[in-house]
Amino acid sequence: MKENKSLVVWHNPRCSKSRNAIKYLDEKGVRYTVRRYLEDIPSKEELREVLKKLGIPPRELMRTKEKLYRELGLKNVEDDEKLIEAMAENPRLIERPIVLHGDKAVVARPETKIDEILSMSKG
């Protein structure tokens, strides 16, 4: 099995895309740590770090089709900090799965996007 202790997957076991990512890593024999982000909720600072690693604005990390997104009226919110706050308070809004390694991250949809991280972690 390839050693890769620093690979972390923000995982929701109820999500098929998230389960596919875990299965993909398992099939490749890659070691990783699972973070059930709905239980171990990321702080605003952690979300800022992940956004930086992903290189995307907060809205792109949000599940904009989620009922909660509409209920909170986030469509018209332009303040990135407010969007980050909404994700920290309501982790269901966070797109999944997120795979992190070092200073890089990908939203693994589809799960083959994980290869971008794996290719960086070789060596």
Residue 117, pLDDT > 60, answer yes
Cα distances from 104 to residues 14, 37, 115, in angstroms, run 25, 18, 12
Helices and strands (H and E) in the chain: how many: 5, 4
Q: Which of 15, 41, 54, 77 is catalytic?
A: 15
Q: What is the mean pLDDT of the chain?
A: 93
Active site residue 15: yes
Run of H or E including 9: strand 8-10
The single-letter DSSP state of residue 121 is S
Stretch 71-95: mean pLDDT: 97
Q: What is the pLDDT of residue 6?
A: 82
Cα distances from 109 to residues 26, 86, 93, in angstroms, run 16, 22, 16
pLDDT band at 2 (very low <50, low <70, confident <90, very high): very low
pTM, to two decimals: 0.90
